[in-house]
Structure 1
Amino acid sequence: MDTNENLLSRITINPNIMVGKPTIRGMRITVEQILRALSSGITEKELLEEYPELEKKDFQAVFAYATNLVEEEQIFPVHISA
């Protein structure tokens, strides 16, 4: 089983690729594209058929990356005086 660190190494950020959005292994496939497709009902199998350069581990990497973002998220209440 891959460690979280190994999975996250599959997610790359390069300002010269997709304007610096996180991509999968430096390809022009963004984490956002994969999450958007999956959330709209497209299956991993369908994505693997559409993008044969993707690997099953890439999906795990996308989920690990998203998990880290949510994990680090902090909410601070804002109190407005009338």
Structure 2
Amino acid sequence: MSTIARITFDSRVMGGKPCIRGMRVTAGTIVGLVASGHSKEKILNLYPYLESEDIDEALAYAAWRVEEIDIPLIQESA
């Protein structure tokens, strides 16, 4: 995965959820807006402090997270 520099994690901001550049806007919020049909221009109007690249990286981050695989730990029975 290429570097995702605009997605930040801070336990003091939005409970540690992935946010855009340390702001109180989560990557999930941006992905949700895109999924519900909002255009990039509309999102930038709603959040004027965001940049076009923020939206691109939120989508790239979400796509990367979807590809992760959780492998359960198996404990041996005694």
- Regarding TM over 0.5, the answer is yes
Deviation at 1:74, TM superposition (A): 5.0
Alignment CA distance shift 1:37-1:74 (3 Å): same
Q: Say if 2:37 is the partner of 1:38.
A: no
Aligned partner of 1:38: which letter?
Answer: V
Counterpart residue number, 2:76: none
Deviation at 1:73, TM superposition (A): 2.7
| Structure 2 SS opposite 1:34 | helix
Scaled by the length of structure 2, what TM-score is found? Answer: 0.81
Cα deviation digits, residues 16-66 of structure 1 (max 9, x gap): 000111000000000111111111111111010111111111111112211
Once superposed, what is the RMSD of the aligned Cα atoms? Answer: 1.9
- Same amino acid, percent of matched pairs: 40
Scaled by the length of structure 1, what TM-score is found? Answer: 0.78
Where does structure 1 differ by over 3 angstroms across 4 or more consecutive aligned residues?
none
Deviation at 1:75, TM superposition (A): 7.7
> What does residue range 1-82 of structure 1 map to in structure 2 within 5 Å?
4-5=2-3, 8-73=4-69
- Number of aligned pairs? 72
Alpha-carbon distance in structure 2 between the residues aligned to 1:36 and 1:11: 16
Gaps of 5+ in 1: 77-82
Gaps of 5+ in 2: 73-78
**More helix per residue: 1 or 2?**
1
Alpha-carbon distance in structure 1 between the residues aligned to 2:2 and 2:49: 21
